[in-house]
Amino acid sequence: MNALGWGLLLTVLLGGWAALDGAVQGGVPLVRALGGREDSRRRVVLATVAPLLLLGEVWLVAAAGVLVAAFGHAETLLWSAGYPFVVALLVAWVVRDAALWLRSRLAGPRWRERWDVVAQVASLAFPAAFGAIAGVAWVQLSVVGAQADGGSGAAQALAVGIPVVTAGLGVAAARVHGGLVVAARAPAALAVEARRRVRRALVPAAALATLAALAALAVAALGTASALVAAVLLVATAGLALAARFDLDRGVHRTGAVRGAGPVLAVVPVVATAAVVGPAVLALAAPPAVLHGLTWPVLGAFAAVLVAQAVSWRVLLRPLGPRTVVFL
């Protein structure tokens, strides 16, 4: 498998993580908002996204392995440029998982409420940190790919503005995606409130997608023509978010726009990042001999992961009912 194949595999892995874990990132902050002070209701909300917790993390771990093995030079550049955001992502990841697993280890209501607050804060920081890392990649790797002057005023402005925009887009996308997953799996009363919150989040998500599209155009002006693809994808995503908002305003929640808004918002930032930094990342790939030697072991492991994920999906993602076991 050549460098392009490895780049596509990395994009698929990160997109799978964004779709699966993004639902958890957006659903956990709704636990207290929808459940209130009643722990049984909070646990029902948590149960709508909890099965995706371990499923999604597998994809991120696999993506990190592919990045280090096939694109080690790009990983080094990202690590040095986005070190604070990488550390923030890892801390948010560990704290969120710890909070979810520890919340029910004791039966006290205050114990659970405090861990729910910790999980909510970490779940907001997680997509924000990943979005900021993507923004750093936009600037650093596109500048390398275009052989532009990293110290120019335009590059400096982008270095500050783009991570802020992409971090906000990550949080907004997770909020919409997680809210729609909760609405699809929760009982009727909770589902109505979840859709109401999704409706309020769609316009900010569309605005941030539009700002990210403008940022992609600015990167394209530095010489990275592939960023134009990212701009088109982000504008289309903003349009989809507004269409979903229009449908929800009319009281219709089973349209293609509403159903697709969450997954598309979660995955498109990953695809847009791949479009922006793709040429530079491929140029920094490992030697062909190394890539070919890793191909079959990695593809075999990837196939095994897909089978395990499919089995887990069928077992875990069933509609909630009175006999559903809630272990968090």
Could you tell me if residue 322 is inside a domain? no
Assess contact for 180 and 22: CB atoms under 8 A.
no
Give the whole-angstrom CA distance, residue 196 versus residue 201: 9
pLDDT tens column, 37-67 = 888 888 889 988 888 887 888 899 989 999 9
CB environment 304-314: b (16+ within 10 A), e (fewer): ebeeebeeeee
Does any domain span residue 161?
Answer: yes
95 falls within a domain: yes
The dihedral built from the CA positions of residue 244, 246, 252 and 255, taken in this order, carries a sign that is: negative
**217-254 b/e (C-beta count within 10 Å ≥ 16 → b):** ebbbebebebbbbbbebbbebbebbbbbbebbeeeebe
149: confidence class by pLDDT, cuts 50, 70, 90: very low
CA proximity to 279, closest of 150, 145, 158, 148? 145
Number of independent structural domains in the chain = 1
Q: Is 326 contained in some domain?
A: no
Average pLDDT over residues 160-186: 93
Amino acid 230 reads: A
Residue found under tokens 């909510």: 120
Helix, strand, coil % in the chain, rounded to nearest 5: 85, 0, 15
Predicted local confidence at residue 150, as pLDDT: 46
- The answer to whether position 194 is within a domain reads yes
Instruction: Report whether 30 contacts 120 (CB < 8 A).
Output: no
**Residue 4, domain member (yes or no):** no
In a domain, 294, yes or no: yes
Domain around 284:
10-316
Residue 22 lies in a domain: yes
Q: Is the pLDDT of residue 90 over 60?
A: yes
pLDDT of 123 above 50: yes
